[in-house]
């Protein structure tokens, strides 16, 4: 299984290893640097090893803050996908892990923020303790150096009557640190699967706190509270020679250690790390605004059962591939909110369409708006299309398509496209066989998809390719009335629930037997497994892909692909 995982995910593993390696290198290098470098000898005398913990975590925070925006630059990813369309499928497929990497970097930022904050709380406590000490020790002497001149200080706390909390909320690093941490906590907690699925608006708006995060990050180190000895001072009064002199100074000092050490701040450098990705992201947003301004004409509105709204649209210069998605905005509902929807039309059609299910405040309001507007259509803005895994479907000889509920949408596009390719007798179609699985809780949601499957069934039969498409519809939530109906009409030629020739199966698929059957039917093929559905299903399909793939390169291989938004 490990062998199969590495074969399928070598690029992801390499990126992960490089990312982890750079993090470990940065942390170790800067930890040892601040723990051993002579410029920070006096700083360490006050702070101890907490200095190294704070600085090493700061470097890693800068590095990960530089990376966090890159995976969500959708246009950049589309461009990369386009430029490496001639690359191996494995390489292109890794771009679909963009959100997984984004989350990984975010959790790493949270961990590093905790380390950095705790280390600085220790530092503030030690600064405060040293400032109040009167024992003539080295930390106490160093903490009084601000009395020699305004720029001579090493300890940023100059008053005996201060507290750690006061410094945390009144200094630039303290205040920006608190704000950054709060922004990070809000962004991470509001981006859980549950909130994203049920309260998308909450996720959408709190995620824009990233603006506060980056602004705070750039300002955070500007005051330069952590200081070290300057190069010139280090040459004149090296701490190894002269530190003893600070605590045991003679009145009429005449030797070369009499001069006080001088200190300088560590320059703020977060901006150097994040400038390029922030500019790239600004360019990305400008591009999105420009694309969104192009006129979209809604040519047809269809209201399907189970509150599913179909919108057919046209936009000048719009070109799509199968399984791509667009972001949709309706100014009448919200000027700022953009929601992702997979395209259900085929590239061969002269319009593009989406199917919208009522699944939250925004979709509910959109469906209501279109139902109420009889005379004038609400204005729609569209950004996209953006590429995801499904456009690779025709690169496989055998494809297994798995859709759960409304997750059938990318496959509507694929199946329609195949239908057109058959009509046009397209010779470039590599795909020899398609297995299609649709898992659905209630029969109402099948309705809009029935017509497509019925047309396809008929088309395949007429062109003598009836066995090209094998599909199984699994009804996962069913009641006794359906069961009785099925029992009464068991011998009919078409299905009771869908009216199609293939029967609906009640319950969930046994994936092991499904994969085993495909492997047996295609012992030497490369099989693409495409899913649009929940994470739990992804795990079980991924497991089946690994179990049923042969290590022998000449035998069957299953490649797993999942839709990511």
Report how far apart, in Å, the C-alpha atoms of 56 and of each of 28, 32, 70, 124, 264 are: 7, 9, 23, 17, 19
Q: What is the pTM of this model?
A: 0.80
Tens of pLDDT, residues 356-388: 988 778 899 999 999 887 667 899 999 988 876
pLDDT of residue 425: 72
Tens of pLDDT, residues 174-205: 999 999 999 999 999 999 988 887 888 889 89
- Residue 41's contacts (CB-CB under 8 Å, 6 or more residues apart) are 229, 239, 240, 243
Secondary structure string (H, E, C) spanning 38-55: HHHHHHHHHHCCHHHHHH
137 vs 440, more confident: 137
Range among 84-88, 244-248, 284-288 rated most confident? 284-288
**Mean pLDDT across the chain:** 85
pLDDT of residue 519: 93
The band of 481, judged by pLDDT with boundaries at 50, 70 and 90, is very low
pLDDT of residue 322: 85
Whether the predicted pLDDT of 310 surpasses 80: yes
| Extents of the domains making up the chain | 20-171+223-242+260-288, 294-371+378-386, 389-450+465-480+496-562
| Among the listed residues 553, 423, 563, 554, the one whose alpha carbon sits nearest the alpha carbon of residue 8 | 553
In CATH, what class is 389-450+465-480+496-562? alpha beta
435 vs 410, more confident: 435
User: Cβ distance 316 to 294 under 8 Å?
Assistant: yes
- Residue 406's contacts (CB-CB under 8 Å, 6 or more residues apart) are 308, 355, 357, 359, 445
Whether the predicted pLDDT of 353 surpasses 90: yes
Match domain 294-371+378-386 to its CATH number in 3.40.50.12780, 2.40.30.10, 3.40.50.150, 3.30.300.30: 2.40.30.10
pLDDT of residue 257: 82
């Amino acid at each position: 299984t490990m062998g199969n995982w590495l074969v399928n995910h070598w690029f992801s593993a390499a990126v992960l290893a490089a990312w982890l390696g750079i993090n470990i290198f940065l942390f170790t290098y800067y930890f040892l640097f601040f723990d051993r470098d002579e410029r920070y000898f006096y700083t360490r005398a006050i702070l101890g090893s907490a200095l190294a913990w704070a600085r090493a975590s700061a470097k890693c925070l800068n590095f990960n803050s530089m990376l966090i925006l890159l995976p969500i630059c959708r246009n950049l990813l589309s461009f990369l996908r386009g430029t490496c369309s001639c690359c191996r499928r494995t390489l292109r497929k890794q771009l679909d892990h963009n959100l997984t990497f984004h989350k990984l970097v975010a959790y790493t930022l949270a961990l590093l923020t905790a380390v950095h904050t705790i280390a600085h709380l220790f530092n503030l406590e030690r600064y405060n303790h040293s400032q109040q000490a009167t024992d003539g020790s080295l930390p106490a002497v160093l903490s009084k150096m601000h009395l020699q001149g305004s720029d001579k200080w090493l300890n940023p706390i100059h008053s005996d009557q201060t507290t750690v909390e006061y410094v945390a909320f009144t200094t630039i690093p303290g205040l920006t640190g608190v704000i950054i941490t709060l922004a990070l906590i809000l962004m991470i907690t509001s981006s859980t699967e549950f909130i994203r699925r049920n309260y998308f608006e909450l996720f959408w708006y709190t995620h824009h706190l990233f603006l506060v995060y980056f602004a705070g990050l750039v300002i955070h180190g500007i005051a330069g509270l952590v200081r070290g000895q300057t190069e010139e001072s280090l040459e004149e009064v090296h701490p190894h020679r002269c530190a003893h002199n600070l605590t045991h100074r003679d009145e009429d000092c005449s030797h070369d250690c009499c001069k006080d050490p001088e200190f300088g701040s560590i320059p703020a450098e977060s901006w150097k790390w994040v400038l390029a990705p922030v500019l790239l992201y600004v360019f990305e947003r400008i591009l999105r605004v420009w694309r969104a301004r192009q006129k979209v004409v809604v040519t047809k509105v269809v209201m399907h059962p189970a509150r599913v709204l179909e919108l057919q649209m046209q936009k000048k210069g719009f070109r799509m591939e199968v399984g791509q998605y667009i972001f949709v905005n309706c100014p009448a509902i919200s000027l700022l909110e953009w929601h992702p929807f997979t395209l259900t039309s085929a590239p061969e059609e002269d319009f593009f369409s989406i199917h919208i299910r009522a699944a939250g405040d925004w979709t509910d309001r959109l469906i209501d708006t279109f139902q109420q507007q009889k005379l004038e259509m609400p204005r729609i803005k569209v950004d996209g299309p953006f590429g995801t895994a499904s456009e690779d479907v025709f690169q496989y000889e055998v494809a297994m398509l798995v859709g759960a509920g409304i997750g059938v949408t990318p496959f509507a596009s694929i199946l329609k496209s195949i239908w057109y390719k058959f009509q046009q007798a397209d010779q470039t179609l590599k795909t020899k066989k398609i297995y299609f699985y649709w898992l659905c809780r209630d029969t109402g949601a099948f309705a809009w998809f029935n017509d497509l499957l019925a047309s396809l069934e008929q088309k395949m039969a007429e062109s003598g390719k009836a066995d090209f498409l094998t599909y199984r519809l699994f009804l996962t939530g069913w009641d006794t009335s359906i069961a009785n109906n099925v029992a009464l009409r068991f011998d009919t030629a078409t299905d009771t629930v869908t009216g199609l020739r293939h029967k609906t199966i009640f319950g969930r698929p046994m994936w092991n037997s499904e994969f085993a059957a495909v492997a047996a039917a295609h012992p030497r093929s490369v099989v693409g497994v495409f899913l649009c559905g929940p994470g739990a299903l992804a795990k079980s399909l991924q497991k089946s892909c690994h179990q049923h793939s042969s290590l022998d390169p000449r035998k069957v291989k299953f490649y797993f692909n999942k839709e990511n938004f």
